[in-house]
Amino acid sequence: MSRDLILGIESSCDDTAAAVVDADGKVLSSAIATQTAIHAEWGGVYPEFASRAHVESIIPTIAQALAEAKIAGRDLRAIGVTRGPGLIGPLLVGLNTPRPASASAGACR
């Protein structure tokens, strides 16, 4: 029996997160890449550093969430991403990273 699985991606500020949930809202996995150490010396989030860190961590974070859920990208029914509010650079990373894969799989509408 197939399940409707959704990948959620959060990249609005300083942490990158991905999770897989089913249609009933059951969380099958959750992965987070924190940027706390990167921003510590500035006393707050430095937007350019946050953007660069998202670029470096988003693919491994998504891969970790898929692996923990024991699924492949082709098993997903949909992908949801944070589109705001937040820092524009990190939001763009989150919005644009899954597009090629989701478009080819028909999940991006």
Average pLDDT on 5-18 reads 97
94 pLDDT above the threshold of 90: yes
Beta sheet of 76-81, edge-to-edge order: 27-33, 16-22, 5-10, 76-81
pLDDT of residue 9: 97
- Cα–Cα distance measured from residue 69 to residue 71, given in angstroms and rounded to the nearest whole number: 6
Element (H, E) at 61: helix 47-69
pLDDT of residue 105: 52
pLDDT tens column, 67-92: 999 999 999 999 999 999 999 999 99
Give yes or no for a contact between 17 and 32, defined as CB atoms under 8 angstroms apart: yes
pLDDT of residue 106: 53
- Cα–Cα distance measured from residue 93 to residue 17, given in angstroms and rounded to the nearest whole number: 12
107 pLDDT above the threshold of 90: no
Whether this model's pTM surpasses 0.85: yes
User: Rg of the Cα trace of the chain?
Assistant: 14
Average pLDDT on 59-64 reads 96
Q: Residue 105: what are its φ and ψ, rounded to 5°?
A: -90, -5
Average pLDDT, the chain: 91
Query: Within a 13 Å sphere around the CA of 23, how many CA atoms are in the beta-carbon half?
Result: 6
